[in-house]
Every structure is written in C-alpha cells, then in structure tokens.
Amino acid sequence: MKKVLFICILFFSGIGFSQQFTVARVQYSGGGDWYGDPSSLPNLLSYLNEQTPMNPAPEEVRVKLSDNELTHFPYLYMTGHGNIRFTDEEIISLRTALQNGAFLHADDNYGMDESFRREIKRVFPNKDLVELPHSHPIFYSYFNLDSGLPKVHEHDGKPPQAFGLLEGEKLLLIYTYESDLGDGWEDESVHNDPWPIREKALQMGVNIIYFALTQ
C-alpha cells in the first residue's frame, strides 16, 4: 500500500515515477566545513535506491551557493560546524532558489546553530524558523517516525529538534538541530553507531527527500 500511494503522489505532483533527480551538497563560501561527513549522502542515496521506488542519481553533485543552477535541485543538503557565513550574492541566490522550487536541508553537525540562524534571517528577514511538531507530515511522509527527529549523537543534553521556514503552506527548508543526522548516514566505521540508530537516521533522510519531492 505504501508503494502504491507513493506512485500516485509522485504522479500527481508532476514528478514521474521513473524520473531521476539529483541530490546536491551546498558549498558556501565562509566558515564551517560544508564538505563534512563525506560518506553521508552516498549512503543515503544507496538506502533510497534499496528501500524505496525513488530514482535518485547514484552520486551527489556539489553546487556553490552562488550558482544559478541551484534552483535545478529539489533537495539541497548543507552541513557544517562553527561560524558559517554567506556572501550577499549567496543570500540572493539561495532566496531565489527556495522561492522557485528548491528545498534546503540544513543539518547542524554541531556548532553551526547560531550562525545558521543569523544567515537564514538574512535570506528571509521577514520569516522566522518554527519548530516542526512530531505530528508534522515530514515525519510520516514515507516511514512512520512518530517520535520525531532521531537522536544520533549526544552533545549538550538537548533534545533533537526540527525547524522549518514556511511560505504560506509550503515548507521551504528544514533545519535539523541536536540530531547529528548526517553522522547517522556515515559509514559504520566512522562513528561505530549501532544499526538501529543509523537506520532511523536514514529513514528520516528518506522522509525529508520524499517530502521535498511531493509537498
């Protein structure tokens, strides 16, 4: 039943069931380490191919935040530590992309919370990040994750939280905080996380991409 529903949603959203899409890792110009968790997206793409009827391109692409082609990608992944910074050109480019069909997943790899909130406020000065409740459809879009965002690694004793930025009813981005979701997608040998934790992280990644493609 899940797969039948999935096919119908893809059809009516205008995304063909067999149509391939590409996942992009965002390269921003200042601070942080946009290239972190290098095995995360390859493993998520493999999981998508194995566990769902989605048809992602087998490899991620890397796209600069200032590139005009940013709008071409339905799922943009951004991660990092520390003090990330966007140029004025990147601010305009990201705003244009998100208002024209792109979807951003910003994943705090510990330490980028303050700077990401500052920079995304520059992108959308009149919008505020809002916490997504566990009842939000993104937690049920493909896998049923009724406990909300999974916790991969512990840092400051804070619960994992998912925040969103809305344009009317449309979710422009999701910001995953205190979860270390990308760490959960990495090769097992990197962090030695047990499979149940890694599986929940991968399932959440599937849900985010599925939601981005079909909302």
Query: For 32-86, how does the pLDDT look when each residue is reduced to its tens digit (9 = 90+)?
Result: 677 766 889 999 999 999 999 999 998 999 999 999 899 999 999 999 888 899 9
8-state DSSP, 203:
H
Looking at the structure of the chain, the number of domains it has is 1
> Residue 133 is encoded by which pair of tokens?
């409740």
Q: Which of the residue ranges 31-35, 66-70, 131-135, 171-175 would you say has the lowest mean pLDDT?
A: 31-35
Label the pairing between strands 23-27 and 75-80: parallel
- CATH no. for residue 109? 3.40.50.12140
pLDDT at site 109: 85
The distance of Cα 153 from the centroid of its chain, to the nearest Å, equals: 17
> Residue 192 is encoded by which pair of tokens?
């030695």
pLDDT at site 18: 64
pLDDT at site 71: 92
**One-letter amino acid for residue 57 of the chain:** A
Can you give the residue range of the structural domain that contains 85? 2-214
Query: How many Å apart are CA 122 and CA 80, to the nearest integer?
Result: 18
Which stretches within the chain are classed as H helix?
A: 2-12, 40-51, 88-98, 113-123, 181-185, 188-191, 195-214
pLDDT at site 158: 86
Burial class (CB in 10 A: 0-12, 13-18, 19+), 41: buried
Query: How many Å apart are CA 206 and CA 13, to the nearest integer?
Result: 17
> Residue 136 is encoded by which pair of tokens?
């939000």
**Most confident among 22-36, 102-116, 128-142 (mean pLDDT):** 128-142
**One-letter amino acid for residue 109 of the chain:** N
Which residue is listed with tokens 């069909």?
A: 101
Query: How many Å apart are CA 76 and CA 89, to the nearest integer?
Result: 17
